[in-house]
Amino acid sequence: MREKTLSVAVLVCLLWPVLARAQSFAPAGWADDLKLNSIADRNPDPKIVEIDLVAKLADVQIDGKTVHAWTYNGGIPGPLIKTNVGDRLIVHFKNELDQPTTVHWHGVRVPIEMDGVPEISQPEVKKGEEFVYDFVVRDAGLYWYHPHVMSAAQVGFGLYGALLVEDPADGVGVEDQLTMVLSDIGFDSKGVLEPADSGGSAGMVFGREGDYVLANGRRHPVLKARPGAPQRWRIVNAAKSRFFYLDLDGQPFTIIGVDGGLQEKPVTTDILLITPGERVDVIVAPKGKAAAPLALRAMLYNRGYGSVEYRAVEEVLTIEFTKEAPVAARPVTVTRAMPMPSIEGATPVDITLALPPMKNNKSEFQVNGLPFWKAKPYLAKLGEKQLWIVKNDSDWDHPFHLHGFFFQVVDEKGKPVGPLAWKDTVNIPMKTTARLLVTFDERPGEWMFHCHILDHADGGLMGTVLVGGGEPKGHTHKP
Looking at residue 23, its amino acid is Q
10 Å Cβ neighbour count for 306?
Answer: 15
First-to-last alpha carbon distance for the chain, in angstroms, is 59
Q: Is 477 in the site for ligand C2O (CB under 6 A)?
A: no
Burial-class residue 348 by CB neighbours within 10 Å (0-12, 13-18, 19+).
Answer: exposed
Burial-class residue 48 by CB neighbours within 10 Å (0-12, 13-18, 19+).
Answer: middle
Least distance in angstroms from the C-beta of 67 to Cu ion: 26
Figure out which of the listed residues 156, 203, 210, 277 binds ligand C2O, where binding follows CB under 6 A.
Answer: 277
Least distance in angstroms from the C-beta of 119 to ligand C2O: 14
Please choose, from the candidates 160, 142, 41, 141, the residue with its C-alpha nearest in 3D space to the C-alpha of residue 89. 41
Please choose, from the candidates 342, 420, 428, the residue with its C-alpha nearest in 3D space to the C-alpha of residue 386. 342
Least distance in angstroms from the C-beta of 164 to Cu ion: 16
Least distance in angstroms from the C-beta of 172 to ligand C2O: 25
Please choose, from the candidates 250, 255, 253, 225, the residue with its C-alpha nearest in 3D space to the C-alpha of residue 326. 225
Least distance in angstroms from the C-beta of 477 to Cu ion: 14
Count residues near ligand C2O (CB under 6 A): 10
Please choose, from the candidates 150, 149, 146, the residue with its C-alpha nearest in 3D space to the C-alpha of residue 133. 146
Interface residues for ligand C2O in 362-421 (CB under 6 A)?
Answer: 401, 403
Taking CA 16 as the corner, what is the angle to CA 49 and CA 27, rounded to the nearest 5 degrees?
80
Q: Is 78 in the site for ligand C2O (CB under 6 A)?
A: no
Figure out which of the listed residues 448, 453, 465, 467 binds ligand C2O, where binding follows CB under 6 A.
Answer: 448
Figure out which of the listed residues 31, 137, 141, 148 binds ligand C2O, where binding follows CB under 6 A.
Answer: 148
Among ligand C2O, Cu ion, none, partner that 297 touches (CB below 5 to 8 angstroms by kind): none
Which residue number is nearest to ligand C2O in terms of Cβ? 106
Return phi, psi of residue 162, to 5°. Answer: -100, 145
Contacting range for ligand C2O; rule: CB under 6 A; set: 5-13, 190-198, 360-368, 446-454: 446-454
Question: What DSSP string describes 58-98?
Answer: EEEEETTEEEEEEEETTBSSPPPEEEETT-EEEEEEEE-SS
Q: Is 240 in the site for ligand C2O (CB under 6 A)?
A: no
Figure out which of the listed residues 82, 106, 224, 242 binds ligand C2O, where binding follows CB under 6 A.
Answer: 106
**CB nearer to ligand C2O: pick between 372 and 396:** 372
**CB nearer to ligand C2O: pick between 239 and 434:** 239
Please choose, from the candidates 290, 272, 293, 295, the residue with its C-alpha nearest in 3D space to the C-alpha of residue 282. 272
Least distance in angstroms from the C-beta of 82 to ligand C2O: 19
Least distance in angstroms from the C-beta of 330 to Cu ion: 35
**CB nearer to Cu ion: pick between 204 and 334:** 204
Q: Is 208 in the site for ligand C2O (CB under 6 A)?
A: no
Among ligand C2O, Cu ion, none, partner that 456 touches (CB below 5 to 8 angstroms by kind): Cu ion
Least distance in angstroms from the C-beta of 403 to Cu ion: 5
Please choose, from the candidates 398, 343, 351, the residue with its C-alpha nearest in 3D space to the C-alpha of residue 377. 351
Return phi, psi of residue 153, to 5°. Answer: -70, -55
Q: For binding to ligand C2O (CB under 6 A), which residues are involved?
A: 104, 106, 146, 148, 277, 401, 403, 448, 450, 452
